């Protein structure tokens, strides 16, 4: 009796093996599709000029050999990989580690003067920050590094001597609709005497307003303290002597 | 009897097969393989849930008294514009956030309605398709700020 059953079981096992192999092949075939959204976008478009675009570690290495200026502050490695003149702008390309692998960290923050270019005769705040290519990821898919193209407006009178790039901080960006309770809690714990009110997103308005602060505290200080309550920050500075 | 055993084995096999096929990262495949991302077009990032987490900034410019960002939801793969009043003298302004793209109607433009205080922002609808994209915006005392804003803008994305 048992001998009679075995052919059908063998057929079933063989079929199962074939289907399992097909599943494995399907999974392996589709593996590369689990790229990030931004990766998909960078394949579709050319977000930045070819000369500045960095999409592979190979091109990064090529630039690094020309411009190996590296600073490591508080465990965040930052490197200037190139500079150029683009008409009315002096540009600097910078790559940096993303603290805690958080994808929303970036250079600077709310105000342009967190990133400045000092020359022989002036200090110029950044005008534009534009991400270069895709984020870098490790083998586990964690976001580890980002590169940005910084543009500083220069006039014909600008003397590009003793050029120093100073990046005061890397920070996350505030959400469209803030977690007001969380921000207020941070402010209360810091005992700064600041109270804020947040917009709820109606009429597509976000952000916050300060509704109470100590009399002796000026507006700029209060704003900076309150704004920092809604983001994560790694203070630098990272300072690069470029020329 | 022989036929019955075969049927049992076949049902078991099909069950395992179906389970396996629905277990392998189905949400990712469905999201990226389908064209459903276009359904985000024109929706606001907060109402759609796209602005909840994993939002990055692709571009920032700093026009006078303001910050104009091109925001990117990694969750939905959509982008939009956010304009923030950053005036150093603590003044309130009218504001506009304009997001430009490559097909008709070719832009979304959102005026703030009333004045917004320092540290407040206005954000546009989001877009999944039709690159290249550009974010434009400003703050000033004109009400309403005529839209779409054509300058200042970020570089193309």
| Least trusted range by pLDDT, from B7-21, B38-52, B130-144 | B7-21
Q: Where in chain A is the domain with CATH 2.60.40?
A: 46-174+233-241
Flag if B131 and A12 touch (Cβ within 8 Å).
Answer: no
Flag if B33 and A33 touch (Cβ within 8 Å).
Answer: yes
The yes/no answer to whether this complex scores an ipTM above 0.85 is: no
Average pLDDT, integer, range A174-201: 96
Flag if B72 and A38 touch (Cβ within 8 Å).
Answer: yes
Q: What is the pLDDT of residue A86?
A: 87
Which one is predicted more confidently, B1 or A227?
Answer: A227
**Chain A contact probe: residue of B33, B57, B96 with most A CBs at under 10 A:** B57
Flag if B57 and A104 touch (Cβ within 8 Å).
Answer: yes
On the question of pLDDT at B34 being above 50, the answer is no
Distances, alpha carbon B70 to alpha carbons A4, A85, B78, B87, in Å = 70, 24, 10, 19
Go through chain B and tell me how many residues it has: 157
Q: What does the alpha-carbon distance between residue A212 and residue A232 come to, in Å, rounded to a whole number? A: 23
Residue of A nearest to B122 (CA): A205
Residue B19 forms contact with A (CB below 8 Å): no
Flag if B45 and A176 touch (Cβ within 8 Å).
Answer: yes
Q: If phi over 0 gives left and psi between -120 and 50 gives alpha, with beta otherwise, what is residue A191? A: left
Chain centre to alpha carbon of residue B42: 9
Q: What does the alpha-carbon distance between residue B156 and residue B2 come to, in Å, rounded to a whole number? A: 68
Residues of A with Cβ-Cβ distance to B59 under 8 angstroms: 128-131
For residue B31, the 8-state DSSP code is H
**Chain B contact probe: residue of A202, A207, A224 with most B CBs at under 10 A:** A207
Q: Quick check: helix, strand or coil at residue A239?
A: strand
Per-residue tokens: B129: 């398709």
Of B20, B32, B113, the CB nearest to A23: B20
CATH class of domain segment(s) A46-174+233-241: mainly beta
Average pLDDT, integer, range A138-151: 97
Q: What is the pLDDT of residue A13?
A: 63
């Amino acid at each position: 009796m048992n001998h009679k059953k075995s052919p059908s079981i063998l057929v079933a096992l063989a079929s199962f093996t074939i289907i399992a192999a097909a599943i494995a092949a399907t999974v392996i075939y589709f593996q590369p599709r689990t790229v990030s959204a931004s990766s998909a976008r960078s394949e579709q478009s050319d977000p930045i000029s070819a000369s500045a675009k960095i999409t592979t570690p190979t091109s990064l290495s090529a630039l690094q050999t020309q411009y190996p200026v590296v600073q490591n502050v508080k465990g965040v490695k930052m490197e200037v990989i190139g500079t150029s003149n683009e008409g009315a702008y002096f540009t600097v390309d910078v790559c940096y580690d993303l603290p805690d692998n958080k994808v929303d960290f970036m250079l600077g923050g709310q105000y342009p003067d967190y990133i400045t270019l000092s020359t022989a005769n002036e200090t110029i705040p950044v005008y534009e920050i534009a991400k270069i290519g895709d984020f870098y990821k490790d083998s586990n898919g964690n976001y580890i590094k980002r590169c940005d193209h910084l543009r500083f407006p220069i006039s014909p009178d600008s003397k590009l001597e003793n050029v120093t790039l100073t990046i005061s901080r890397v920070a996350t960006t505030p959400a469209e609709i803030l977690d007001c309770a969380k921000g207020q809690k941070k402010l209360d714990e810091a005992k700064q005497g600041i109270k804020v009110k947040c917009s709820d997103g109606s009429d597509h308005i976000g952000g916050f307003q300060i509704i109470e602060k100590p009399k002796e505290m000026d507006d700029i200080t209060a704003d900076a303290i309150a704004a920092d309550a809604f983001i994560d920050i790694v203070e630098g500075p990272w300072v690069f002597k470029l020329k | 009897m022989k036929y019955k055993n075969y049927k049992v084995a076949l049902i078991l096999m099909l069950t395992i097969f179906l389970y396996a096929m629905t277990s392998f990262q189905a949400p990712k495949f469905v999201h990226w393989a389908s064209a459903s991302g276009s359904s985000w077009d024109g929706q606001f990032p907060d109402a759609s849930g796209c602005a909840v987490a994993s939002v990055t900034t692709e571009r920032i410019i700093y026009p006078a008294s303001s910050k104009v960002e091109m925001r990117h939801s990694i969750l939905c793969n959509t982008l939009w514009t956010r304009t923030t009043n950053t005036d150093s003298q603590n003044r309130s302004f009218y504001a506009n956030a304009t997001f430009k793209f490559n097909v008709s109607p070719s832009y979304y433009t959102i005026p703030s309605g009333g004045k917004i205080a320092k540290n407040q922002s206005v954000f546009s609808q989001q877009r999944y398709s039709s690159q290249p994209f550009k974010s434009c915006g400003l703050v000033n005392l004109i009400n309403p700020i005529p839209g779409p804003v054509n300058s200042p803008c970020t570089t193309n994305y």
